[in-house]
Chains A and B, each alone.
Chain A
Amino acid sequence: MPEPLLQVKDLTVTFPNSRGGVRAVRGVDYTVDEGEFLGIVGESGSGKSVSSLAVMGLLPSSAKIDGDITFRGDSLLGMSDRQLSRLRGREMAMIFQDPLSALTPVYTVGQQIQEALTLHDKNLQKRTAEKRAVELLKIVGIPAPERRVKAFPHEFSGGMRQRAMIAIAIANDPTLIIADEPTTALDVTIQAQILEVLQKAKEVTGAAVVLITHDLGVVAGNVDRVAVMYAGKLVEKGPVDEVFHTPRMPYTMGLLRSVPNMLTAGKERLVPLEGRPPNLAELPPGCPFADRCPAVQDRCRTTEPELLAELGDGREVACHRADEIAAGTLKPNDIFPRPPHEERELKESDTLNPVVRAQDLVRHFPLYKGSVFRRVVGSVKAVDGVDFEVLPGETLGLVGESGSGKSTTALEIMELVTPQRGSLEVAGKDVGTLSKAQRLQMRQDVQIVFQDPMAAVDPRMPVGDIIAEPLTVHKVPRAERTRRVLEMLDLVGLAPEMTDRYPHEFSGGQRQRIGIARSLITNPKVLVLDEPVSALDVSVQAGVMNLLEDLRDRLGLSYLFVAHDLAIIREIADKIAVMYLGRIVEYGPVKEVYETPRHPYTRALMSAVPVPDPAIERERQRILLTGDLPSPTEDIPGCNFASRCPLFRMLDEDRQARCLGEDPAAVPHGGSTVACHHVDQIGQLDDVDISALSPTGD
């Protein structure tokens, strides 16, 4: 058997602090073979990034590293910075999460790629390095590389910067590429592009890739083997198909069952994985997952299971009950049973008056120029004429990439003022006609839950006061407030004695429950949910999603649910509005839109969402969108999606001319409304040749 490329043996990383230290990584073993694609999955704080930084020798000097890391048989831990830096970038390269901050702002992209080359080849001519930089940018699919090589990072979009990062990583033909959450900060359509580029980089260099992510869908479609990390340790390891189909560690099972799958969402409920990972500074004895594990036994609380390959089938599990699970006597459904699906009664929609109705809603932000005499030079068309309605007890999902105007739309409703154009009705009243007192009164009816639960609450206020705050605005007496706070805490599943505690004592999921309690305390009719679960770890998302579903059905609430995640929208929404550059391009019942998407953008968006199922993921045809979102300040005479439209490029000239010259209006097709001239041609996208559409440098 050939020697593995990278071997990590019993790796331990401790960050010393005044009370002994935080053990971020606690004995991790894994190997990476030449040319292999390994995925490491874990939630935030599981130690997945720390362990990979340890491999690269990029941890801060205060970190204490034990164990052994060998690369091609050479131990890395004993090496000096100088020795390591000869390996870094040449033999092993790394791609980081946040492409916005990972490039030095003061050097051009070209200079930074050239630096990667010249650092390892002092004799390299400047000319040759420049040429090579252009070539590399071309490989990673940056259009007009000769020009772009001279651009500064701030002139690149997020997706292009990440491409540049990949170009730097493959500059010296490395044998190992570590990608640490390379797509987490990006939109789903850009994520699909970047994963494609990563695959291409792997082919071009033949390097082994270690992909670190929290997203099971991203892992499913790309890697050969997967390792699951929890609380600083690997808890399960094996070939990706087997781990996804027959997980043996209860944590893996829980994780897989808690993630909404875009293809099946809405049919069965998500399984919540309650609790939170243990504090690595004061780890109790036993299995770190014991507190959250429904299949816990006494021995789990006393001894921690080792990662063992007992069954000899190439899979390793750290669980005392692994043999039972492997034998099939302990099934995932016994450990994490799916909560019963609650029947929803939706009233006949024709007879209902919508709680929110927007017609031709517009929100433009003026762009100014000049410091002494400010003048308007253009406008950002954040929301550019959208129509939608939310019926009582119904959920409208608003999806789109960042910059599509979905959050602005949500905030426009919260503002309750006359829109710049069009009309907005809330609870049957036109908000433009409201007096000041009526508007204050109406604020009780419309409440919001924000994305980041920690940023949305005052950290110096006890939870009881946070939840009661909306009532103090509406001058509700103290005794009544206290009564309502307790009622709300009960409603969202928090203990009543928590009123006196402060936000930092709660986990992310609990904090979001506090945010939900605060929004519900005024008995609202409509709840605007602005990405309510996207800041949460995957395992706690499910709990919050289920809570939101239950509350809606029990209290008869209406939701406007803003999200970028199509799986989550399918899980909770009744209707969906797909937004692109301030417009709604497709609007209709969830079932219809997901089963027969009619707008090419909806198609592309759906095909970009990774599904946490390796078998399906490998079969799926991806429609890749080229390039980035155009600037919302541009005046586009025709369809504003034409520049990226995959269908547009397949049409004949007459049809194309129509796309470019005429702004498509939203027209009913079946149960949906679609803003596309060529809905009848959408079938062409079913049998596309992917390679013809993938972005290569033009």
Chain B
Amino acid sequence: MIKYILRRFVNYLILTVVATVFAYIAASLFFFPRRRYLGVNPPIPEDSIDGILSAYGVNDKDPVLLRTWWWIERVLFEPLSQKLGQDLNGDWVVLEIISRAGLSLRLLLLGALLAAILGVALGVWGAVRQYKASDQFVSYSSFILISTPTFVGGVILMIVATNVNDLIGFQAIRFTGPSTPGIDGFFPQVWDGFVHLLLPTIALMLFGAASYSRYQRSLMLDVLGSDFIRTARAKGATRNHALVKHGVRVALIPMSTYFAYSFGTLVAGSAFLEIIFSWEGMGKYGIVAVQTSDVNALAGNVCFTAVLLLFSSTLSEVLYAALDPRVRV
């Protein structure tokens, strides 16, 4: 089994490398970082621009494949923090990723966990009470949530929070950035962090749970009519016992893949949530990289996401094998 997972890991690793290199080539082909330095007043001499771009390794006068080779060389031989080069702000991409990924994780982890738990619970509940009023209610609410764009939902939450703040007369719920500057002391800081997390967590939980519950409901419905649930009841288990111990356990198996991937990519950020709540996370980094034609930052971003996918795919294999004895070799 371990051999099997290792083999899968190596497969994914090759894919990761290929994906990142392709991303670098694509970004080099389509981005035009020189534009940033053109048309400014006073004009920068072309030699200086070439100098700046060459220092970043993104001079469009060098052939794309040569630049790609340099990039690969850097990745292979530079010290870790400098492996992915500098972005156009002059920051080392690796260091930037580390600080932003931590922030994204903080923003998203709790919400994603709650979303998974709530989603599974609602999905199972809906399946067991199929077509009853409660199931219909959960279904329709999920559909509305799924079809609401994230930023609309986020803005609505912010409006509600503002109204709540107005109503009680002081700023109980804060939602700009990860913390309020100028707060001292451990407990006040923790409390401040919590207050800032409240809205993003609620948003993520609702949106996540809505789609999780759909998957879980249909998986559970498949399992509900199974013969083994009938067997469990024939042994003397009550309906609920049989459904939870035998039904949910089996219905969770396919969900594990979904969980692994969504948790894995959590650190890669959720661009919309980060922009709405003004967090400088990974999602925002990627968007800014595209906007500013920042080849190194984007390649770093893609590389990071690919590595995350590498780990989450492996995690999903491990989870699947842990949950389903039939795939263990």
Contact = CB atoms under 8 A, between A and B. Distances in A.
A376 interface: no
A115 B11 CA distance: 41
B324 interface: yes
B184 interface: no
A205 to B, nearest CB: 15
Nearest to A108: B325
Contacts of A82: 238
Given A116-B235, A169-B234, A371-B11, 19 more contacts: A85-B233, A85-B241, A89-B234, A89-B236, A94-B234, A96-B231, A96-B234, A102-B231, A104-B228, A105-B228, A106-B250, A106-B325, A112-B235, A119-B237, A119-B241, A165-B231, A171-B235, A172-B236, A371-B7
22 contacts: A56-B234, A88-B236, A89-B237, A96-B227, A96-B231, A98-B227, A101-B226, A101-B227, A101-B228, A103-B228, A103-B231, A104-B228, A106-B253, A106-B323, A112-B231, A115-B235, A116-B236, A119-B237, A152-B326, A168-B231, A169-B234, A172-B236
A81 interface: yes
Contacts of A104: 228, 231-232, 246, 249-250
B230 interface: yes
A90 B235 CA distance: 8
A93 interface: yes
Contact of A106 (B230, B238, B239, B249): B249
Contacts of A93: 234-235
Nearest to B225: A60
A326 B216 CA distance: 60
A126 interface: no
B239 A115 contact: no
Contacts of A119: 235-237, 241
Interface centre among B7, B238, B323 (most CB of A within 10 A): B238
A85 B227 contact: no
A345 B11 CA distance: 67
Contacts of A372: 11
A446 to B, nearest CB: 39
A56 to B, nearest CB: 6
A657 interface: no
Interface in B178-236: 226-228, 230-236
Given A104-B246, A152-B326, A371-B11, A88 B235 contact: yes
Interface centre among A82, A85, A96 (most CB of B within 10 A): A85
Contacts of B234: 56, 58, 88-89, 93-94, 96, 169
Contact of A86 (B226, B236, B324): B236
Interface centre among B246, B250, B253 (most CB of A within 10 A): B246
Contacts of A154: 325-326
A4 B11 CA distance: 66
B125 to A, nearest CB: 16
A106 B324 contact: yes
A162 to B, nearest CB: 12
Contacts of A169: 234
Interface in B293-329: 323-326
Nearest to B236: A89
Contacts of A301: none
A89 B323 CA distance: 27
Contacts, number: 84
Interface in A85-135: 85-90, 93-94, 96, 98, 101-108, 112, 115-116, 119-120
Contact of B325 (A56, A87, A90, A152): A152
Contacts of A101: 226-228
10 smallest A-B Cβ distances: which pairs?
Answer: A89-B236, A89-B235, A101-B227, A116-B235, A104-B228, A94-B234, A102-B227, A152-B325, A119-B236, A85-B238
A649 B171 CA distance: 88
Interface string A404-444: 00000000000000000000000000000000000000000
Interface residues of A, number: 36
A104 B234 CA distance: 13
B206 to A, nearest CB: 31
B237 A96 contact: no
Interface centre among B230, B231, B235, B253 (most CB of A within 10 A): B235
Nearest to B324: A106
A422 to B, nearest CB: 35
Given A152-B325, A152-B326, A372-B11, A102 B228 contact: yes
B226 to A, nearest CB: 6
Contacts of B236: 85-90, 116, 119-120, 172
A106 B327 CA distance: 11
A93 B231 CA distance: 10
Interface in A262-291: none
Interface centre among B230, B231, B233, B241 (most CB of A within 10 A): B231
B325 A96 contact: no
B227 A105 contact: no
Contacts of B324: 105-106
Contacts of B231: 96, 102-104, 112, 165, 168
Nearest to A93: B234
A102 B236 CA distance: 15
A115 B237 contact: yes
Interface centre among B232, B239, B249, B326 (most CB of A within 10 A): B232
Nearest to A154: B326
B235 A81 contact: no
Contacts of A102: 227-228, 230-231
A576 B279 CA distance: 79
Interface string A152-193: 101000000000010011011000000000000000000000
Contacts of A152: 325-326
Nearest to B250: A106
Contacts of B7: 371
Interface in A37-88: 56, 58, 81-82, 85-88
A201 to B, nearest CB: 15
A288 B325 CA distance: 49
A214 B162 CA distance: 70
B11 A81 contact: no
Nearest to B242: A85
Contact of B232 (A86, A115, A371): A115
Interface in B236-263: 236-239, 241, 246, 249-250, 253
A603 B313 CA distance: 54
Nearest to B325: A152
Nearest to B226: A101
Contacts of A172: 236
A385 B107 CA distance: 67
Nearest to A88: B236
B232 A105 contact: no
A93 B235 CA distance: 7
Interface centre among A96, A105, A168 (most CB of B within 10 A): A105
Nearest to B238: A85
Nearest to A117: B235
Given A103-B231, A104-B231, A81 B323 contact: no
A168 B325 contact: no
B233 A88 contact: yes
A250 B116 CA distance: 61
Contacts of A85: 233, 236-238, 241
B326 A105 contact: yes
B235 A168 contact: yes
Contacts of B253: 106
A98 B227 CA distance: 8
Contacts of A120: 236
A108 B325 CA distance: 9
B159 to A, nearest CB: 43
Interface string B258-270: 0000000000000
A345 to B, nearest CB: 51
Nearest to A92: B234
Contacts of B235: 88-89, 93, 112, 115-116, 119, 168, 171
Interface in A195-230: none
A624 B11 CA distance: 50
